[in-house]
Structure 1
Amino acid sequence: MLFLVIAHDGTDEGALARRLAVREKHLERSGKLKEIGTQLVGAAILDENERMVGSAMVLEAENEDALRALLAQDPYSAGDVWRRFQILPFLRTP
């Protein structure tokens, strides 16, 4: 099953620094997920000042519980970057 995930970063003063501290590990993991077909697309969400404030992804998982487990393993989750998720079932057009 495909899911559109909007992951919102924290809004505190240290949020961007936490993101940047683990960004390379996150990108490395994201690349591996793309290689195995789990992640179809991923991108940073920017605010009006072009500062990274979240992430948008299309991910494949068996169900929402499996998706949440996958998200919990991401360096942005472990690094306290992502604070809130919007998870929407996603249907790709042919």
Structure 2
Amino acid sequence: MNQYIVTGYDYTDEGAFDRRMAVRQHHLDGAKHLKENGNYVFGGAILNDEGKMIGSVMILQFETEEGLEAWKQGEIYITQKIWETVDIKPYRVAEV
């Protein structure tokens, strides 16, 4: 499978954190679904100095580019404007 590192940084407007929290459970449910299908490797929140969530990092894997694109089209943090920027790069988890 092709692996990817996904880095999403949240919008910084006044309502950004509230938007994140309003859809966070949907995002986590989506990650659980990805894990059940073998697409989720690991992930977590990026925190600022005060410990507040300001973004996310996920390691995902898909058989095809179409699978990655389908995930992007349905990811609630993208569709609901939680992540202002999303950077996706090919990645390989080291096997040690």
Q: TM-score, normalised by structure 1?
A: 0.89
How much is the aligned-residue C-alpha RMSD, in angstroms? Answer: 1.4
Give CA deviations for 1:38-61 in whole Å, capped at 9, x if unaligned: 111110111111111111000112
What count of residue pairs does the alignment treat as equivalent?
Answer: 93
Alpha-carbon separation, structure 1, partners of 2:69 and 2:53: 22
Q: For residue 94 of structure 2, what is the aligned residue in structure 1?
A: 93
Alpha-carbon separation, structure 2, partners of 1:68 and 1:19: 22
Alpha-carbon separation, structure 1, partners of 2:3 and 2:68: 9
Runs of 4+ in 1 over 6 A off after TM superposition: none
Counting only pairs closer than 5 Å after superposition, residues 14-93 of structure 1 correspond to structure 2 as 14-61=15-62, 62-63=64-65, 66-93=67-94
> What secondary structure, in the 3-state scheme, does the structure 1 residue paired with 2:85 have?
strand
Percent pairwise identity? 35
Q: TM-score, normalised by structure 2?
A: 0.87
Structure 1 unaligned regions, length at least 5? none
Structure 2 unaligned regions, length at least 5? none
